[in-house]
Amino acid sequence: MTKKILVTEDLVQEGIDSLTEHGYEVDMLIDPTVEELASAIAPYDALIVHPNTVVDSSLLDAAENLKIIGRAGVTVDNIDIEAASERGVIVCNAPNSNVISAAEHTMALLLAAARHIPEASASMHEGQWRRADFMGSELFGKTLAIFGLGRVGGLVAERAAAFGMNLIGHDPYCSPERALHLGVTLYDDMAPVLAQADFITVHLPRTVSTLGMFGADEFAAMKDGVVLVNAARGGIFNMDALADFVAAGKIAAVAVDSFEAEPCTDSPLHEFENAILTPHLSPMTHEAQRRASTQIAEYVEAGLEGGMVATAVNLSPLPPEVFDAIGPYVHACKMMGSMASQILGHTPKSLKVELAGGLADADPAPLLAAVLDGGLSYRRLGAFSAANAESVASQHGISVTTASVRDAGEYASSVRIVADEVEVAATLFGTEHTPRIISLMGYKIDIAPATTSLVFEYVDAPGRIGVIGTILGDAAANITTMQIGTKPEESCALVYMNVEGDVSEAVLDRLRGAIDLRNLWKITL
């Protein structure tokens, strides 16, 4: 039967043509109301949207045949990813389609603001010739602060470096290597970045932590005469507070391309001549729109044909034969990824995933994706899929290797990961496939981890467990299971302890003070 695809927003014809040439039936229902879309969606296998079509759980409930949603662009914040995943619907985007256009638009806004181009042009159209009123400043030698050093932020850094700007930035998830490569001095806190910048540009996703990230306190902490640009997402700057600071002259100019509600025809900034406002023009180039159309057509087709979707932002379903081989290990691998990242405390530089015994011939990609997903799950957008795991890992500065060994020792199969200096291995136990940790930091143990665990490493000596037990008992934390591994050659022991009850920082400090610990980690799964 012919597969049906519904397109709900303008899409360059090239992508549509390629889908029809490949035998799909493509229908256009441009800018439908919520009700129109809900009553039309049932027969469709795929849905292609831009930013304005809201795909929420009630639409997905009506979408009985839907297998894949393609977002012709980067941002998927109009799609309820979790609801789609729960229903087994793949969500994919075209993450590289418009990032160059977005970075170039950012540069255009920076330059336009620095040289008063919109106001000067408007005055010329009114028949005036006012050179002295539009004295500008050079970008050269000025400090540009970039918040968010992902795809667009990185491209802006490269372009601003060519203008001779000093680059500083803030992005808790950007690796030091990436920052070094981009020539950006990274700061953990916003304060020093705000205090130094002559120009500030944001390239952040819209999340709970970035909405309103720039308000009155942040604007007050900036240099007098600062220039601000937001070509990312509306809502990152608090517009009312921003207008107050523009009115007071603290902010010399502001350029905004993206608004909290679009279309936007009125905002607190509309009255200011030194506020440059563009109607979400960042992606509006022939090149970006053409890429968005052709790339999304290719990914949607891959999804409909059961192939791996390279840009899936939620896990695409594994083909049954792959699932049979490795599916039960997905949960264990997510758990190990989370455990390793909690022990490490930062994003690893290198990650090795080794499949042993019965898994030796299996494709490691889905398990690598699961390890990364467990370890980097702070990314609200962009879950790892088997197809994108390596490339997303490298974006985060993680170099990935996979290996297989035939010998799994006393187990039928196992997976071992090494994230920088942290090693952890797991096997599955019984018909329920319960994950058991069989090695941690080189210590041989055998334990099924609970929601909260404490891991102690210390120089082995009698009485240690007693001291630990007493402190936890006093804190009303109950030890439910425990395993001890030793390294006799180093006289060291590692205790993996599952606990119930609250183990606060104060209790951890007491434990650290009471015995001579090499390490103590609290792990929450």
Ligand X SMILES: O=C(O)C(=O)COP(=O)(O)O
Ligand Y SMILES: NC(=O)C1=CN([C@@H]2O[C@H](COP(=O)(O)OP(=O)(O)OC[C@H]3O[C@@H](n4cnc5c(N)ncnc54)[C@H](O)[C@@H]3O)[C@@H](O)[C@H]2O)C=CC1
Minimum distance from CB of 344 to ligand X (Å)?
Answer: 31
Binding mask 339-378 for ligand Y (x = CB under 6 A): ----------------------------------------
Minimum distance from CB of 197 to ligand Y (Å)?
Answer: 14
Minimum distance from CB of 40 to ligand Y (Å)?
Answer: 27
Minimum distance from CB of 209 to ligand Y (Å)?
Answer: 4
> Under rule CB under 6 A, which residues in 420-479 are in contact with ligand X?
none
Q: Where are the beta strands (DSSP E) in 301-442?
A: 350-357, 399-405, 413-419, 422-429, 434-440
Q: Of 69-77, 118-126, 382-390, 495-503, which part binds ligand X (CB under 6 A)? A: 69-77
Q: Which of 6, 37, 50, 308 binds ligand X (CB under 6 A)?
A: 50
Closer residue to ligand X (CB): 152 or 387: 152
Q: Is residue 98 near ligand X by the rule CB under 6 A?
A: yes
Q: Which of 15, 70, 73, 366 binds ligand X (CB under 6 A)?
A: 73
For residue 366, the partner it binds in ligand Y, ligand X, none, with Cβ less than 5 to 8 A by kind, is none
Give the per-residue SS3 of 452-493. EEEEEEEECCCCHHHHHHHHHHHCCCEEEEEEEEEEHHHCEE
Q: Which of 51, 118, 374, 375 binds ligand X (CB under 6 A)?
A: 51
Q: Is residue 65 near ligand Y by the rule CB under 6 A?
A: no
Q: Which of 231, 336, 389, 437 binds ligand Y (CB under 6 A)?
A: 231
Q: Which helix (H) or strand (E) holds 523?
A: strand 517-524
Tally of CB atoms within 10 A around 501: 14
Q: Is residue 160 near ligand X by the rule CB under 6 A?
A: no
Q: Is residue 364 near ligand X by the rule CB under 6 A?
A: no
Q: How far apart are CA 519 and CA 521, in angstroms?
A: 7
Q: Which of 5, 146, 152, 393 binds ligand Y (CB under 6 A)?
A: 152
Q: Is residue 347 near ligand X by the rule CB under 6 A?
A: no
How big is the site for ligand X, counted in residues (CB under 6 A)?
Answer: 7
The single residue listed with the structure tokens 């136990």 is: 429
For residue 337, the partner it binds in ligand Y, ligand X, none, with Cβ less than 5 to 8 A by kind, is none
440: closest CA among 459, 458, 417, 461? Answer: 417
For residue 174, the partner it binds in ligand X, ligand Y, none, with Cβ less than 5 to 8 A by kind, is ligand Y
The single residue listed with the structure tokens 């994919």 is: 92
Q: Yes or no: say if 178 and 154 are a contact pair by the CB < 8 Å rule.
A: yes
Q: Is residue 283 near ligand X by the rule CB under 6 A?
A: yes
Catalytic (active site) residue 131 = no
Binding mask 171-210 for ligand Y (x = CB under 6 A): xxxx----------------------------xxxx--xx
The single residue listed with the structure tokens 């009155």 is: 216
Q: Is residue 148 near ligand Y by the rule CB under 6 A?
A: yes
Q: Which of 102, 167, 418, 422 binds ligand Y (CB under 6 A)?
A: 102
Q: Is residue 75 near ligand X by the rule CB under 6 A?
A: yes
Q: Yes or no: say if 400 and 410 are a contact pair by the CB < 8 Å rule.
A: no
Half-sphere exposure of 81 (CA within 13 A, CB side): 18
Q: Give the phi and the psi of residue 10 in degrees, each rounded to 5.
A: -55, 135
Minimum distance from CB of 450 to ligand Y (Å)?
Answer: 30
Q: How far apart are CA 373 and CA 414, in angstroms?
A: 19
Which amino acid appears at position 88 of this protein?
G
- Cα 328 to Cα 278, 318, 432, 440: the distances in Å are 50, 12, 9, 21
Q: Is residue 170 near ligand Y by the rule CB under 6 A?
A: yes
Partners of 499 in beta bridges: 479
For residue 51, the partner it binds in ligand X, ligand Y, none, with Cβ less than 5 to 8 A by kind, is ligand X
Catalytic residue among 116, 170, 178, 233: 233
Q: Is residue 78 near ligand Y by the rule CB under 6 A?
A: no
- Cα 519 to Cα 418, 491, 516: the distances in Å are 18, 15, 9
Closer residue to ligand X (CB): 79 or 318: 79
55: left (phi over 0), alpha (psi -120 to 50) or beta: beta
Q: Which helix (H) or strand (E) holds 39?
A: helix 34-40
Q: Yes or no: say if 238 and 214 are a contact pair by the CB < 8 Å rule.
A: yes
Q: Coil, strand or helix: which one is 241? A: helix
441: closest CA among 335, 347, 358, 518? Answer: 518
Minimum distance from CB of 105 to ligand X (Å)?
Answer: 10
For residue 50, the partner it binds in ligand Y, ligand X, none, with Cβ less than 5 to 8 A by kind, is ligand X
Q: How far apart are CA 231 and CA 234, in angstroms?
A: 8
Catalytic (active site) residue 280 = yes
DSSP state of 175: -
Which amino acid appears at position 236 of this protein?
I
Q: Of 18-26, 113-121, 149-157, 490-498, which part binds ligand Y (CB under 6 A)? A: 149-157
> Contact positions toward ligand X, by CB under 6 A?
50-51, 73-75, 98, 283
Question: So which residues are the catalytic ones?
Answer: 233, 262, 280
